[in-house]
Amino acid sequence: MLIALDAMGGDYAPTETVKGALLAVRETDVEVALVGLPDVLETELARQGHSGSPTSVRVVPASEVVGMHEPAAQAVRQKRHSSINEALRLVKEGEASAVVSAGNTGAVVASALLVLGRLGGIKRPALGAYFPTGRYGVLALDVGANADCKPSYLVQFAHMGSIYMERVYGVKRPRVGLLSIGEEEGKGNALTREVYDRLQHSPLNFVGNVEGKEIMNGEVEVVVSDGFTGNVAIKMGEGMAEFMFRELKKAVSERLRYRLGAILMLDALRGMRRRLDYAEYGGVPLLGVNGVVVICHGRSHAQAIKNAIRTAKEAAASGVLEAMQADLK
Amino acid sequence: MLIALDAMGGDYAPTETVKGALLAVRETDVEVALVGLPDVLETELARQGHSGSPTSVRVVPASEVVGMHEPAAQAVRQKRHSSINEALRLVKEGEASAVVSAGNTGAVVASALLVLGRLGGIKRPALGAYFPTGRYGVLALDVGANADCKPSYLVQFAHMGSIYMERVYGVKRPRVGLLSIGEEEGKGNALTREVYDRLQHSPLNFVGNVEGKEIMNGEVEVVVSDGFTGNVAIKMGEGMAEFMFRELKKAVSERLRYRLGAILMLDALRGMRRRLDYAEYGGVPLLGVNGVVVICHGRSHAQAIKNAIRTAKEAAASGVLEAMQADLK
């Protein structure tokens, strides 16, 4: 199976994207197309000891690169031959089975819509975020693709998320929660009250409203929200985690006994930090477009890129796209 | 100055409310009216060694109690003589300067609207949450009083929050941020884009959109949002903090060296936990009603009640209500 990697996307591209691709082909039964400026990529491959690239990694040329902070809509229209567009084209044309990118998220979403289009019947694609809690983890969606949503979008997000967790993570009848402000029915805003009602009458395993606590306890496998609320929530979670690590660091610098304690606990603290870094978990899916697209954090290192390539492969092999298509009918 | 305490409100009432009141009058120049079932409160006072209550603490009778999980609107209408209503009446009639309650938040908000009414010109009251970050801390509002908001509500929240941080915490020209999904202007949903524009043309010290990171870094002193988004955000922050403490505990139970490390770091970890428990910070204000109302976490212990009484006293003495009234004109 061939995975198209946007080798120019990400804060540490192309060094880490190339390294990640090489790791992936070594550890997984997969081939990777490194899409980007050919000179740059060949040089990087050579630098990493792979002049005359291994057969399972090949360079596919793209003549442009979208900057990490470039306005997305503009970049997509003006840079038709960007690495992300060319990577998506490989999927569109059936050469590759999935795309992985650590590039500008807005641009990846816009490009995916432009090049692959929406899955028939899907109103809006949704961006997922994965929390490593509970037995299978929790997929939250939408976390940023659609700031303003109609009830019908959220109902589709619930279906897509449910199918994704079932197919890719092997969860039987994933529990679906609606991100809201109190567990009782009737709590929430105008949007969620309407969505609550519709989900209750859906075939999904809908368990009602959930709050941050339930997400972090792993009491559901899918959490749906509009992209504004979802994005605010994940950023608040990240902000809190960073705050706690920062506070701990400050305390440690103040007293010797805290420093000693921290040294003893170092592996545990590092493990927790890693666990919270969702890039580690192999990226997050963009659901609802007509192809498998996995998006990584901009600051992804090789390990995260490798994991994302594995996720992309598993998603493509799982038939999640076909299952969604069937569900929509 | 007399503070009316809803002595029946909270998970640990009346033991902890009475204890908190006794602590408050000992440590602060304040008198407290314990409002609630007189038998229960007299017994509790006696049990805590104060038969013949001290002159600075007196019992004011109320014949009903609102349960922590009772539907708010119904409770307020059916229990006219509840402890929260009677406490608010003391403020309404000018006998007390402020109310403190750890009771059912929804009921407190509904009662405050019923008994005190809104401050003239205020469209909707807002519930604040306080984060102990940065130099002065951050007041987030609304975190739950209004799930659906119009732009004009958020603009008023910004004004009220700004005046509160200025008067009660002594912040000169508090920095006001708008909770959104990216720092650039134009990012956000339909509501925040409209509010952004209005705040930019307001006399407030508006610094633009903020995310969880900026809240937890203390880069602003006031954060405004609709009550749905604000509530989801604080619950997500709480959920993340609980998750991290739980993970740490789990790790500690697994290896001796982690356990030793945790013992050495115990004070630092406890300090952080306390710092994150916003009840410790003396409760949060309900802004926009015609009186000073401070709401505590339902799970408040005596220390938190005492701090809330101090906050209520400081808020009442600060002239924050009069300043808001003047600002509205």
Closest-CA residue in chain A for B133?
A243
- A239 and B144: CB-CB below 8 Å? no
Closest-CA residue in chain B for A251?
B268
Note whether residue B47 is domain-resident: yes
Same domain for A50 and A26: yes
Mean pLDDT of chain A: 91
Indicate the pLDDT class of residue A75, thresholds 50, 70 and 90. confident
Record the pTM. Answer: 0.91
Note whether residue B143 is domain-resident: no
Distance (Å, whole) CA A248 – CA A268: 13
Distance (Å, whole) CA B85 – CA A26: 70
Q: What are the tens digits of pLDDT across the range A77-105?
A: 889 999 999 999 999 999 999 999 999 88
Query: Which residues on chain A are in Cβ contact (under 8 Å) with B269?
Result: 248
Q: Which helix (H) or strand (E) holds B2?
A: strand B2-6
Q: Give the residue, B117 or A54, on which the prediction is more confident.
A: B117
- B181 and A231: CB-CB below 8 Å? yes
Domain harbouring B208, CATH code? 3.40.718.10
Note whether residue A70 is domain-resident: yes
- B244 and A242: CB-CB below 8 Å? no
Question: SS3 for B92-152, per residue?
Answer: HCCCCCEEEECCCHHHHHHHHHHHCCECCCCCCCEEEEEECCCCCCEEEECCCCCCCCCHH
pLDDT, mean of residues B293-319: 93
Distance (Å, whole) CA B248 – CA B242: 10
Query: Which residues on chain A are in Cβ contact (under 8 Å) with B251?
Result: 265, 268, 271-272
Would the pLDDT of A53 be above 80?
A: no
Distance (Å, whole) CA B35 – CA A59: 76
- B237 and A239: CB-CB below 8 Å? yes
Note whether residue A283 is domain-resident: no
Residue A178 distance to chain B (closest CA, Å): 11
Same domain for A168 and A56: no
Would the pLDDT of B131 be above 90?
A: no
pLDDT of res. A81: 93
pLDDT of res. A278: 59
Q: How many CB pairs under 8 A join A and B?
A: 180
Closest-CA residue in chain B for A246?
B217
Distance (Å, whole) CA B305 – CA B19: 8
Same domain for A219 and A77: no
Distance (Å, whole) CA B3 – CA B310: 9
Range of the domain at B213: 148-277
Could you give the count of Cα atoms lying within 13 Å of B155 in the half-sphere of its Cβ?
19
Question: Percent of chain B having pLDDT more than 90?
Answer: 68
- Structural domains in chain B (count): 2
pLDDT of res. A321: 92
Would the pLDDT of B143 be above 90?
A: yes
Note whether residue B140 is domain-resident: no
pLDDT, mean of residues A8-26: 94
pLDDT of res. B54: 59
Would the pLDDT of A51 be above 80?
A: no
A279 interfacial to chain B (CB closer than 8 Å): no
- A99-108, A191-200, A251-260, B293-302 — which one is most confidently predicted on average? A191-200
Q: Which residues pair with B205 in a beta bridge?
A: B175
At a CB cut-off of 8 Å and minimum separation 6, what does B260 contact?
A261, A264
Q: What are the tens digits of pLDDT across the range B249-298?
A: 888 888 888 888 888 888 888 888 877 775 566 788 999 999 999 999 88
Question: Percent of chain B having pLDDT more than 70?
Answer: 97
Closest-CA residue in chain B for A213?
B239
pLDDT of res. A20: 96
pLDDT of res. A280: 61
Distance (Å, whole) CA A9 – CA A279: 14
